[in-house]
Chain A
Amino acid sequence: MGAEQVEVYLAKSRAYEIEAENNAIKGASEQRDAGIGIRTVIGKKIGFAYVTTLNEDDITEAISHSLSLAKASLEDPDFVTLPSSGGTYHKAKKLFDNKVDTLSSEEAARLLIRTIDATKENLEGMDFAIEAAISSSSSFNAIVNNLGIAMAESRTSVSLYAYPVIKEGDDQTASYEYQISRDLNDIDPEYIGETAATLAIGFLRPKTIEGGTMPVIFEPLGANSILGRGFAGAVNAEEVQMGRSYIADAYGECIASESLEIIDDGTIPGGLGTRTFDAEGYVSQRTPIIESGVLKNLLHNSYTANKDDVENTGNAARPSYSGLPRISTSNFILTPGKGTVDDFISEMKKGIVCRNTGDRPNMTTGDLSAMVMEGYYIENGEIKFPLKNTLIGINMKDLLTGVSQVGSDSRTTFSMIAPSFVIENANITSG
């Protein structure tokens, strides 16, 4: 039909979820998704189309749309080729857990009820409402192109959370805990319930503080969110090539504190980002990003690697069949150091703890203004009270060089694997 290169990405998944609201189960859903995305290349022009079915007529329409789009596109002089076979693949391990794949609705409901019960037990005598959910999924994806790539893999994942809301007089607060894994054995409903409840109680009666410059302890969730979103996006080669990243000109330079080591590793057994091949079928690998504070590598897919004439790091990522490959981390890992949040608190004269934030920096300037979604004020080595209406202001470049300690308490989240860390100084506004 006129294409010189073609790539087909097929994905199928089954996701199952049970939700609870106000301390009881409320609903269940089962989603079966299957679709196909077609990338076609004519010269240096690329088209893409996808459809949410595997019906032959729909696929034919998608192929024809993909070709018309390629024909109408403006030539990209930097495009070289789709990837060909990436050498020796290392078969990813522990991606699929049969127990997750065959989890029955009754068993899932039991895990959820155990979570709710554990949360309740720790909130006895209080006015509370617990929201919780368990989700499991099994997915399969396959990539084939006309340059010899033909790869397929299956994986599972399961996650469970509890979100208790508590009221005391005029005060109302909430907190949460969750776990996510490819392996059902890693999920501990009692831990989740107890932690969520204990945390929520600790956030009652929050206060504002006198603003100023002070150190910040990021707990593992906050660390994951700051680095997993705020730094991973900056080492995306596409953003750097387009001049949109705050570390744009820093390749090979010292950009972070010596205590910071960050690796992207798509090969660790059972990791949430582990895969034998990336979203273009290219071999998955381990890529050092920061070593002793020096920026060693960027994250590449085939397009950006060809454009810079460097090695493809196998970081192509796409939202299932419904999009073109962009760039993302696999398992983005901050190497653990020494100590825990409690140790850091006990050593601090005056500062704050940020358990989590929903914010991300301006990726072009690096300016970060992050709300402390959950956090505490510390004085003389002790937590004084929880915080409200408090913002942390710092540029990401200063944050990276200002890391004074990295903890050993690593945890896995959707975005990264990181322990807690401490930064020497940030501008705190509260009011």
Chain B
Amino acid sequence: MEDLATAAIEAALKAGVSFADVRIENTSTTIIEINDGVSKQSMASRLKGAGIRAFIDGAWAFGQTTDLSSSGMRKIGDSVAKLALTTKEQVSEKFEIDGPIFEDRFEYNVKKPFSSISIDDKVSLVKMIDDQARDFDKRIVSTRSVYGDMYTELYIANSLGTKVYAENSIPRIISAPTAKDGANRQRIFKSLGVRGGYEVMDTDAAKNIGHDAAELVIELLSSIPATGGSYDVVMDPILNGVMTHEAFGHAAEADNWPSHSTVLEDKVGKEVGPEYLSITDDPTLDGQRGSYEYDWEGTKTKKRTLVKDGILTELLHSLETANRLDMDPNGAARSQSFMDAPLPRMSNTFMEPCDWDVDELIQDTKNGILLCSFNYGYTQSAKGQFMFQASHGYIIENGEKGRMVRDVSLAGNILEVLAKVDAIGNDFELDAGSCGKGGQAVPTMTGGPHARILNMPVGGM
């Protein structure tokens, strides 16, 4: 792969650009989906190709090819460089791309590579999960169970001299049963995703996911829609992770600074929350879905302390943003595949635990709502506006957990919400997710401890 990358980079430099980089990817995936005991999707794929960027004087160009021959790589290197040179005439802000050089070969060794497991075994696993959910209760009227695995070999090189080969392996298992009682229908989505090989599927959490999802969806049958209004909200670790990701993490992606599209623009080094609040994005955690050694620009990654004791201390950088903001690169540039240009992204994002015992936190909440797990969330960094939805929750009355509620939405403003976090628990949990930005999805984890936000608008039916 080194020769192919060199061919593209040399062709680009020869055409007259000052920087070029290449990502050559070979990824294989499997998806096995069973609905109601029947195969719904049995799918395999191979993604094979190269993405090439060329840069000069503040102008970027990106292209991609699946012609992985020397001549094909030279051709794309040359044409991408020419596109950058044309674009150069119209840019107004000039800057350079520089950065540390890395040479490494990272092999990710797992106990059970996906390719060593037969399709029959994968189908049996999903069948077992699907049966488990259906057999839990006769009110389970429909089951959906999905296994997915993805194994990636990635080679990254750039004209500064970086040459990195890295592997990744991530499996996922999902159970999404539907329950019905009279006219009342409920559905839940539960997933487990960590980094590793097929051995992840041998854990209790994976093997019991059908049962756990079914238990929750049956409980949801007796839930009621929440009444809208302002509440003191206690978030469970999963929802806290979503809040941290949506309400803060996106706004800390450094590509928002040159484009002036984040409400955090003037806040670097300044207070964004209470002194007991710290937020971390850490791709170096062992065995987590959002973890990696090198980002998609070939920069060695490291732990990012985004907020330390209430102060915004670090951002998520690509080579470009580190150069333009004169900060250190921290390996946060990621792409969905070779078909996409890298962007600053989160990895495993979480609020750091503090000192509150969770039971005491709930007892201390007079009239509030405990919100758990999540359906989805989104944000607009430029306006500072975000929203996310808990899949279910419980009314808290006089410090006691009461009636179950469902589909509870919260909306708020990034700069206002962190200041309202008044109590942070001493527990910790991370949950699997997938984050979308600019049409690209990348695997992430989000989480943290339980935490309380005072006086939040909660939507109701």
Interface residues of A (CB under 8 A from B): 18, 21-35, 45-55, 58, 61-62, 65-66, 68-78, 105-106, 109, 113, 129, 131, 163, 165, 167, 172-174, 203, 208, 211, 242-244, 246, 248, 322-324, 358-359, 362-365, 367, 369-371, 373, 388-395, 427-431
Contact = CB atoms under 8 A, between A and B. Distances in A.
Contacts of A18: 87
Contacts of B407: 362, 365, 367, 369
Given A362-B375, A389-B457, A48 B87 contact: no
Given A25-B91, A30-B83, A61 B261 contact: no
Contacts of A242: 35-36, 142, 144, 178
Given A27-B62, A109-B90, A174-B261, A391 B48 contact: no
A74 B225 CA distance: 38
A165 B382 contact: yes
B44 A58 contact: no
Given A51-B48, A74-B127, 7 more contacts: A27-B87, A48-B43, A61-B46, A71-B119, A78-B38, A359-B387, A362-B407
B44 A390 contact: no
Contact of A52 (B37, B44, B49, B178): B49
Nearest to A429: B228
Interface size on B, as a range, is: 35 or more
A62 B36 CA distance: 27
A47 B142 CA distance: 22
A28 B86 contact: yes
B42 A73 contact: yes
B142 A74 contact: no
A243 B180 contact: yes
B90 A25 contact: yes
B43 A324 contact: yes
Contacts of B406: 362, 365, 367
Interface of B: 34-49, 58-66, 79-80, 83-84, 86-87, 90-93, 118-120, 122-123, 127, 141-142, 144, 178, 180, 185-187, 225, 228-230, 258-261, 263, 339, 341, 375, 378, 380, 382-385, 387, 389, 406-409, 411-413, 455-461
Contact of A393 (B61, B92, B387, B459): B459
Given A362-B187, A389-B411, A72 B119 contact: yes
B81 to A, nearest CB: 12
A370 B457 CA distance: 12
* Residue of B178, B263, B385, B408 contacting most chain A CB atoms (<10 Å): B385
A23 B260 CA distance: 10
A18 to B, nearest CB: 7
* Residue of B35, B178, B339, B387 contacting most chain A CB atoms (<10 Å): B387
A34 B186 contact: no
B409 A371 contact: yes
B229 A429 contact: yes
Contacts of B44: 48-50, 62, 65-66, 69
Nearest to A110: B90
Contacts of A33: 64, 339
Contacts of B36: 242
Contacts of A389: 385, 411-413, 457
A244 B261 contact: no
A172 B384 contact: yes
B457 A429 contact: yes
Nearest to A39: B43
B371 to A, nearest CB: 12
Closest 5 CB pairs of A and B: A27-B60, A391-B459, A129-B260, A429-B228, A369-B409
A110 B91 CA distance: 13
B92 A23 contact: yes
B42 A29 contact: no
Nearest to B67: A53
15 contacts: A27-B59, A27-B87, A28-B86, A30-B61, A66-B44, A69-B119, A72-B122, A74-B39, A113-B90, A129-B261, A244-B185, A367-B461, A391-B409, A393-B409, A427-B461
A74 B46 contact: no
A27 B61 contact: yes
B412 A365 contact: no
Contacts of B47: 52
B41 A427 contact: no
A77 B87 contact: no
Given A244-B178, A431-B455, A371 B142 contact: no
Nearest to A360: B376
B187 A53 contact: no
Given A74-B127, A364-B185, A369 B86 contact: no
Nearest to A431: B457
A243 B178 contact: yes
Contacts of A105: 83, 86-87
Given A73-B39, A165-B261, A246-B185, A53 B66 contact: yes
Contact of B459 (A23, A30, A203, A429): A429
A51 B46 contact: yes
B385 to A, nearest CB: 7
Contacts of A173: 382-383
Contacts of A165: 259-261, 382
Nearest to B45: A50
A22 B93 contact: yes
Contacts of B409: 359, 369-371, 391, 393
Nearest to B35: A242
A289 B230 CA distance: 39
B225 A367 contact: yes
Nearest to A74: B39
